Structure 1
Amino acid sequence: MTGFDRWLAEARQSARQPPARPRQPLVVVGHEVGSVEDGFLSQIGLQRLLDKRWQLSKNEQSWCLDVPPEAATEALNALAAALHAQGLCGPWRNEQLAVCNPAGDVIGTVERGAVRVLGIATRAVHLVGLAPDGRMWVQKRSLTKPTDPGLWDTLMGGMVPAADSLHDALARETWEEAGLHVDALADLRHGGHVDFSRPSREGGGAGYMRERIDWFRAEVPHGMEPCNQDGEVERFDLLPMTAVREQVAQGLFTLEAGLVIAAFLGL
């Protein structure tokens, strides 16, 4: 077994783990949309969430945010703000992510910093960018990034905000991170997806990550080079595939990027 094969086996195990501690469903508008660690929401003081329009309540099986459908977004963000005030969120981004019911229908949105502690499923998009000679474009994440600073990543990787479709997010993030227009790339196509479900350090270790990463592949034409636009990338590099595999196996790439690259390699 090669070093990459060993890394891949461990990475797949790491990407699909049960919660570290028991969790209870979070129900909003009658739909289970996430989960919270036992006792977690009791830390915020439920009186902070009481309002003439909604209430957070607990029964033996779940936590329920009792709101009419049209108030779901406002109530979810009130819950996120209460968690943030107690230091129980991940990094606050002022970015709304979709909150879906089990059928995949969007019932509201919530601040990105709260999704992990509330166990809400998220979507992300990655782009594997290749040079005409088969080498791979990779980015070194900014040292100021709140997650995985300084690690290597695919050409582009980012969340899908509530306001974007998957293709909108692909185009916007590719421009912001790499300064490339997707319609200028060659042979752009959807490659597949990678699923994650694993404990998260957010909220003092009370978070749970549930995420689907859709990945695309494309060729960056000769003479075109990525150039970061948003300050979130330290630099780009163009590596032969052997070097990419070696660095992934050494743990120099994010777990998400490494598994996307493995999927691109057909592994």
Structure 2
Amino acid sequence: MSTPSFASWLAALRVGADQPPLRPRVPLWAGTVQIGSVEPGFLSQIGPQRLFELREVLSKVERAGVGGWQLHGDPTQSLAVLAHALRDAGLAHVWRNEQLAVPDADGQVVATIERAVIRVLGTTTRAVHLVGAAPDGRVWLQQRAFSKPNDPGLWDTLMGGMVSAADTLDSALERETWEEAGLHLQQLHGLRYGGQVTTRRPADDGGGAGYVVEHIDWFACTVPDGMEPVNQDGEVERFELWDQATTLQQMEQGAFTAEAALILADYWGL
């Protein structure tokens, strides 16, 4: 059961997960649709010479009195050129060689982009999580590897990962469940869709110029007795089974990622 202090903490967490940018941002357009946003002077840090070289794929424009940046040509190719320029200027996050989908405001995918620059360009991402409970009601939790670039050592749901450009939601759920927990979906009982959590918040990427917009679809299941998760990709430190009281206490003390805490709170109907 949650306590009044936990309820206050959870309310603050939910407010913190839906925050405007720290500073004003301007649109990033592909064709006629906005696909992201950047701080006004951020792309200028690439340097005048490199920006001049990028003029065939990127330029400053104004639309209906709003200034921003316009991609030219094929948006996936143009974003790839821009991503490499950001990496060369030291403005990208850890390079993954992983392409994520870039949707417009209606959720239609218009391009793909290297994961390392999604936050500085303010593009919307999609992730999938799995809450795995034991038959006795305790939940399987993973401690993220200390080598992870984001939230190292914090506790997370049984599985959590990005939906890549090559994935559907279902294929991402299946792939990530195997890679992170060594489990096949057909081994699990009562697999169900739980809901969606959306986070909008500033990020430290690019020297504090990042902004996260992420839709997280989460699922729940029962992991049968005698079956334990075993990490396959080196991104998990260990797995443990915790009861609800212990989990809520550790959440309030900051031991969990914000995303995992929000999902687990929804899972328990808090």
TM-score range, shorter chain: over 0.9
After TM superposition, which residue ranges in structure 1, 4 or more long, deviate above 4 angstroms? 49-53
Report the AA paired with residue 72 of structure 2.
D
Report the AA paired with residue 197 of structure 1.
R
TM-score (norm 1): 0.95
Partner of 1:129: 132
Q: 1:97 aligned to 100, 125, 128, which one? A: 100
Report the AA paired with residue 79 of structure 1.
L
Does 2:221 align with 1:212?
A: no
- Contact 1:127 1:154 survives alignment (8 Å): yes
Q: Give the secondary-structure state (helix, strand or coil) at the position aligned to 2:249.
A: helix
Report percent identity of matched pairs. Answer: 58
Q: Give the secondary-structure state (helix, strand or coil) at the position aligned to 1:197.
A: strand
Partner of 2:205: 202
Does 2:25 align with 1:23?
A: yes
Runs of 5+ consecutive residues of structure 1 not aligned to the other structure? none
The equivalences for 1:33-112 within 5 A come to 33-45=35-47, 47-48=49-50, 54-60=56-62, 61-67=67-73, 71-112=74-115
Does 2:170 align with 1:167?
A: yes
How big is the shift at 1:59?
A: 2.4
How big is the shift at 1:53?
A: 9.3
How big is the shift at 1:74?
A: 1.1
Partner of 1:154: 157
- Contact 1:58 1:64 survives alignment (8 Å): yes
Runs of 5+ consecutive residues of structure 2 not aligned to the other structure? none
How big is the shift at 1:55?
A: 2.8
Q: Give the secondary-structure state (helix, strand or coil) at the position aligned to 1:59.
A: strand
Distance 1:17 1:3, change over 3 A: same
- Contact 1:49 1:79 survives alignment (8 Å): no
Partner of 2:257: 254
Report the AA paired with residue 30 of structure 1.
T
TM-score (norm 2): 0.94
